Amino acid sequence: MNDTRILGVHGRRVWDSRGRPTVEAEARLTGGAAGRAIAPAGASTGSGEAIELRDGGTRLGGRDVQRAVAAINGEIAAALTGRDAADQAAIDRALIDLDGTPQKRRLGGNALVAVSMAALHAAANAAGRPLYAHLLGDAASAVMPLPEIQIFGGGAHAGRRVDIQDFMIVAPEARNFDQALEWTAEVYRAAGELMAERGLMQGVADEGGFWPAFDSNEAALDMLIRAIERAGFTPGQEIAISLDIAASEFHENGLYRLARDGRTLDSDGMAEMLIGWLDKYPIVSIEDPFGEDDAEGLRRFTAAVGDRVQIVGDDFLVTNAERVKNAAAIGACNAVLVKPNQAGTVTETKAALDAARSAGWGAIVSARSGETEDVTIVHLAVGWGAGQLKVGSFARSERMAKWNEALRIEEALGSRARFAGKASLKPGSATRR
């Protein structure tokens, strides 16, 4: 199976974790190997990310993907047939040029990312190696990422019952990935017990975390501390807190409107609130603490606390290498969230990660709220040595498929595996290969 020329590309409609249509692509090679991948979908999205191609109209709420599937089976298949899947950069350049728009609007970011990842899988299969090993090449060791796992969901992922989107934990003192998951399972179980005892459970959020009925945003932090303690851990030692503020979701006309708290804050007020939380709680990472168009607020916040907390750009950076470089130049953020479907191709995704490394930043490979059983991002996190991995909560099969895949990879690596742990959270600690 050494012939890596593309024999054909096929697209189909499949379904994501919210029961919405999405795109799956298969790439078949002349030598007999094949690869398959599925595009995820986000709920809170940055304005600069690759744009999905949806059908519109009334069918399936306008979310059907027949046009994107047709693009794969038509133009994209014709353009890629005969090309070498082992040359990922050339495959992705062909996709970008074929689409011809800055945000993949014409053929759809969902179509392009599915095909790009499918070609990558096909090349790995042709080489007879799992994708992570294909990406690692001859590296003597591999970094197992620190998992960042949601306990409570909010914002766009949970009916905006609280404003903050993700209340998460990390286990920086764990010995390995397996132990990090075990500790998380204990905290997740304890949180569920506490929620049930206090009658605060509303259901399950999009990413598998508990959908809470808290009276304030800070009440979620207090409950998270109680859950960590009930599970037998010391907050800030074995287990620490990570937040995704997703501030663009409630930022308008220069103001931040926290509906759950009944507060409206300007940029300085938002910073004051968050710094107060940093002083009170063992928070080690904050994602999108300011709106995507509030670069100055983000710059000032990074200058104030960037030496003691990871400040992650998601909507602000949208997995775009140039945006990462520009943010680094002005001193905004010290880590990037890496989402392949934001960029639209594997090559552009890797470029954003490389830009973060060049800036001395950390990196988190991330799933989306609308996910599937696809585990590509786990292999990317390990194969690229990203250091951190975020796929949602410790429940729902589309999430657990990814955590479990990482366990398999850690076992397969054996003594070659190095757990990123707390080192991945330090500014300037981006893992290099």
Please, are residues 258 and 264 in contact by the beta-carbon 8 Å criterion? yes
How far is Cα 225 from Cα 223, in angstroms, rounded to an integer?
5
| DSSP line for 136-191 | HTT-S-EEEPEEEEEEEE-GGGTTTSSSSSEEEEE-TT-SSHHHHHHHHHHHHHHH
| Token output for 300 | 């000032």
For this structure, is 207 an active site residue? yes
How far is Cα 158 from Cα 224, in angstroms, rounded to an integer?
17
Please, are residues 193 and 200 in contact by the beta-carbon 8 Å criterion? no
Residue 7, amino acid: L
Choose the catalytic residue: 104, 339, 350, 402.
339
Choose the catalytic residue: 207, 287, 292, 348.
207
Residue whose C-alpha is closest to residue 175's, from 421, 423, 430, 424: 421
For this structure, is 422 an active site residue? no
| Token output for 375 | 């585990």
Task: Estimate to the nearest angstrom the gap between the alpha carbon of 58 and the chain centroid.
Answer: 30
- E-strand ranges in 302-416 read 310-313, 335-338, 362-366, 387-393
| Separation in Å, CA 376 to CA 110, 184, 354 | 15, 22, 18
Task: Estimate to the nearest angstrom the gap between the alpha carbon of 11 and the chain centroid.
Answer: 24
Please, are residues 9 and 18 in contact by the beta-carbon 8 Å criterion? no
How far is Cα 132 from Cα 116, in angstroms, rounded to an integer?
16
What is residue 270's DSSP assignment?
H
Indicate which residues carry an active-site annotation.
207, 339
